Amino acid sequence: MLEQLKKEVYEANMLLPKYDLVTFTWGNVSGIDRESGLFVIKPSGVDYDLLTPDDMVVVDLNGNKVEGKYNPSSDTATHVELYKAFPNIGGVVHTHSSWATSWAQAGRAIPCYGTTHADYIYGEVPCARCLEGKEFEEYEKNTGLLIVHEFKKREKDVKAVPAVLCKNHGPFTWGKDGNEAVHNAVVLEECAKMAFRTELINPQVKPAPQDLQDKHYFRKHGANAYYGQGNK
């Protein structure tokens, strides 16, 4: 079942250690088949060195395991809520990458201080609040619902802002598939690192001018994009 998607999700998961985004088993990638309403995700707690495509777990949008010898990632319910709320998302990544997680633990959004950030993410990367009280009873599901609420409240476009921080927890990223979601996780980690260094060098720094942010984002995205070879 979904053998090609399993292979793609496996390969995307293996990019996490390649790009130093995970320690031990601290991360997961999923990818969805919208036609069937099923998605594939990394199994919970299995070392990356031991993973194979056949180990990937097939799950439905109610969070039920459909196929697989292992339990799915403990973050599965978060992925479910993101897929249900945002139909243009095809892949989701969660890591505890150190730079992005540091901003999450500080409870701070990541400002756009320069063009590297602006090329990929339109505006700041938001930081959703920490869950409270009874919300912890369905921790993973409510984490997803909180992310969805945060984006709708701020009227943010998940395509233009393919990342979020969860306070005291860590980052989630997404994309058209698992591979793009990993790409965005790498970008987020680099932007988090640069933003920290920027504030260290100049504690009074302000976000990059909006005109500069607009220029860099829209030259790569949207109807009038001209970056690269495919937009002539």
Please list the active-site residues. 119, 227
Q: How far is Cα 160 from Cα 94, in angstroms, rounded to an integer? A: 18
Nearest Cα to Cα of residue 103 among 123, 70, 125, 79: 125
Residues near 125 by beta carbon (within 8 Å), at least 6 away in sequence: 103, 109, 110, 161, 163, 164, 165, 188, 191, 192
30 membership: H or E segment, kind and range: strand 27-33
Going by C-alpha positions, the residue among 9, 143, 133, 26 that lies closest to residue 78 is: 143
The DSSP secondary structure of 41-86, one letter per residue, reads: EPBTT--GGG--GGG-EEEETTS-EEE-SSPBPTTHHHHHHHHHH-
How close are the terminal C-alpha atoms of the chain, in Å?
39
Q: What are phi and psi of 220, to 5 degrees?
A: -110, -15
Three-state SS at 117: helix
Farthest CA pair distance, the chain: 54
- CB–CB of 51/27 below 8 Å? no
